[in-house]
Amino acid sequence: MIQSLAAQAILNPSLDRPSVSGLDTQRHADTPSGSDNSQIVAAKSATAARSGSDSVQISQDAYAVAKLVARDREVRSHEAAHAAVGAQYAGSPSLTYSKGPDGVSYATGGEVSIDTSAVSGDPQATLQKAEIIRAAALAPTQPSAQDMRVASKATVMAAKARSELAGQASEELMSPAGTAESKAIDSDIGVGGSQESTQGNRPKSDQGSLLRSIA
C-alpha cells in the first residue's frame, strides 16, 4: 500500500504526496498489534503441539506394530515346531489373533492338540509314542509351562511302558516254553546247576538287551 502511493506520486507530480502523519498511520495500520501477535504465536504453538502429538502417536503405533510382528513370528514358529515333531499324534496349530493399530491381525497365542493316550495292549508302541510326544512338547526353543507338563506326562507314560515290557519279558522266561528252552540250552553247553539258578540269570540279560534296542 505504501509503495503504491509513492509510485503514483512519482508518475503524477500533480498528485499530493501523503503527509508524514498519513504514512505513519498507514504504517501502524499494517503492523500487527500486540494482541494480534499473541494470537499468531498461540496459533503456531497449537499447530506445533498437534504436530508433536501426531509424531508421538505415530512412534507409539510403530512400536506396537513391531512388537506384534515379533510376537506373530514367535507364536507361529513355536506351534509349528510342536506340530512337526508330534507328527501323526499332533493336530494342526490353532492360533488366536489380535488386531494392531495398523488394522492387521497378528497371531498372539496358539496351541497344538496332541494325543497322549497309551496304545492299548502294546507297551512297545506306547513307549515309542511317549518318546515322540515328549520330543514334540520340548521342540520349541522356549517351551511353555503347559509344554513342560505334557513332557512330564510323556515321561511317566514311557516309564510305565518300559515296566510293562520288562514284565512281559519276565513272564515269557518263566513260562513252560521258556523253561524248556533254558534246559535245552544248559544241556547243549554242558552247564550244571539247578533250574532256579539258570532262570535267575536269564531275565536280567534279556531285559538289558531289550532296553538297549529301545534306546
How far apart, in whole angstroms, are the C-alpha atoms of residue 54 and residue 52?
5
Residues 167, 129 contacting (CB under 8 angstroms): no
Residues 151, 130 contacting (CB under 8 angstroms): no
For 176-200, write each residue's pLDDT tens digit: 655 555 555 455 544 444 344 334 4
For 84-140, write each residue's pLDDT tens digit: 999 999 999 999 999 999 999 999 999 999 999 999 999 999 999 999 999 999 999
With cell 491381525, the residue in question is 105
DSSP per residue over 135-168, as a string?
Answer: HHHT-SSS--HHHHHHHHHHHHHHHHHHHHHHHH
CA of residue 92 relative to chain centroid, distance? 15
Helix (H, G, I), strand (E, B) or coil at 68: helix
Whole-model pTM: value is 0.56
With cell 540269570, the residue in question is 201
Q: 8-22, 54-68, 106-120, 145-159: which range is least confident on average?
A: 8-22
Residues 162, 214 contacting (CB under 8 angstroms): yes
